[in-house]
């Protein structure tokens, strides 16, 4: 009987912890929805992609604060994605989650980095796009399957005056 009671107590504590995390996630999403503008909708006919890469959408964070994940409007869920560069912007096609469209005119920087909320590596294995959305500047991180393609992304997005940086972390 003692063992059953202890097991139920541990299970109840675990369920309470999960419930608390869920409440915190929802509270953060609500506060960010008031502060961060809705993401732009991808165009219906964006044209032919100039570049495409398969990999992992890591997260979107507030620029300069690599641990402050944006969770509003489904942006906090990491998963497999395809990154496509078009003439007018970049699409992060996340499969089952809503796609994120980053207009090319709003991109202020591109860099490789070692880490972002949810993913930290020993090398500069993340491609990070810095962009403006309303009054906020955001970082969107992508871990490509083919890291050798990163220089093409840096060159292509750097053509229109976008700042290209090295790693922001030390």
C-alpha radius of gyration, the chain, whole number:
19
> What pLDDT, on the 0 to 100 scale, is given for residue 48?
92
User: Dihedral through CA 159, CA 145, CA 57, CA 94, nearest 10?
Assistant: 100
CB 116 within 8 A of CB 58: yes
Full pLDDT tens readout for the chain, 170 residues: 789 999 999 999 999 999 999 998 788 778 777 788 888 888 888 889 999 999 999 999 998 888 888 888 778 888 899 999 999 999 999 888 888 999 999 999 998 988 888 778 878 889 999 999 988 899 999 999 999 999 999 988 876 556 666 544 43
The alpha helices in the chain, defined as continuous H runs, are 2-35, 150-158
DSSP-derived 3-state class of residue 17: helix
| Strand pairing category for 107-113 and 163-165 | parallel
DSSP-derived 3-state class of residue 64: coil
Q: What is the per-residue burial (b if ≥16 Cβ within 10 Å, else e) of 139-159? A: bbbbbbeebebbeebbeebee
Reading the block at residue 157, the tokens are 């997005």
Domains, the chain, in order of start with CATH, read 51-165 (2.30.29.30)
DSSP-derived 3-state class of residue 75: coil
Rounded Cα distance, 52 and 91, in Å: 9
Reading the block at residue 118, the tokens are 């949810």
> What pLDDT, on the 0 to 100 scale, is given for residue 137?
92
């Amino acid at each position: 009987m003692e063992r059953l009671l202890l097991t139920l107590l541990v299970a109840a504590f675990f369920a309470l912890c999960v419930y608390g995390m869920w409440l915190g996630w929802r509270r953060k999403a609500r506060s960010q929805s008031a502060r961060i503008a809705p993401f732009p909708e991808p165009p219906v006919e964006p044209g032919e992609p100039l570049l495409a890469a398969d990999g992992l959408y890591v997260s979107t964070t507030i620029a300069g604060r690599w641990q402050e994940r944006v969770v509003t409007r489904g942006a906090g869920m990491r998963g497999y994605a395809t990154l496509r560069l078009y003439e007018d912007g970049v699409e992060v096609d996340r499969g089952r989650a809503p796609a994120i469209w980053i207009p090319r005119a709003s991109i202020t920087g591109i860099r490789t980095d070692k880490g972002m909320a949810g993913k930290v590596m020993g090398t500069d294995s993340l491609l990070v796009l810095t962009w403006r959305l309303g009054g906020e500047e955001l970082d969107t991180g992508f871990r490509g399957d083919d890291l050798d393609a990163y220089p093409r992304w840096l060159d292509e997005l750097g053509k229109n005056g976008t700042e290209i940086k090295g790693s922001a972390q030390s």
